[in-house]
Amino acid sequence: MELDTKSLMNNKKHIIMRSLILIPIIALFLCSYNAQAQSNETVKQEVNAESNNPNITTVKFKITGITCAGCSNGIYKAVKAVDGVTEHSVEYPGDIAIIQFDKTKTSIEALKAVIEKKGYKVELLKDKV
């Protein structure tokens, strides 16, 4: 009888300890899910706002010569400094740059020249991605 009581007490302690561990984990999961949902909604609103602007266009470049993340970071910073760039990404590996810009402030040729000035070869893959 004494073993059963001791066993029950250990089981209760085990259940309580599991609950104490699981509750914070569930709370963190729910908070991060809510934050991600809000972030996705903000991105959708920004995309919709920019898609209404006829001067905003997107271009996709294939860049030859990127050998490391430092290279892609240098290109990213150079493109970011261009007036009129509203959104951009540089993928390494993959060697692709996707740039959204206001065509009243800059052009495909100007963006291409900025990247080429950094020492890379640039090929236009798509206009209006």
Q: Are residues 34 and 93 in the same domain?
A: no
Q: Report the mean per-residue pLDDT for the chain.
A: 78
Last residue of a domain, which of 9, 26, 52? 52
The count of structural domains within the chain is 2
Q: How many CB atoms lie within 10 A of CB 12?
A: 10
Query: Tens of pLDDT along 53-73?
Result: 888 999 999 999 999 989 999
Give the Cα separation of 14 and 8 in Å (integer). Answer: 10
Q: Token digits for 46? A: 């920004």
pLDDT of residue 54: 87
Q: Are residues 95 and 75 in the same domain?
A: yes
Q: Are residues 62 and 39 in the same domain?
A: no
Domain limits for position 4: 1-52
What value does the mean pLDDT take over residues 35-42? Answer: 44
Q: Token digits for 32? A: 């991060």
Give the Cα separation of 51 and 44 in Å (integer). Answer: 10
Q: Are residues 111 and 80 in the same domain?
A: yes
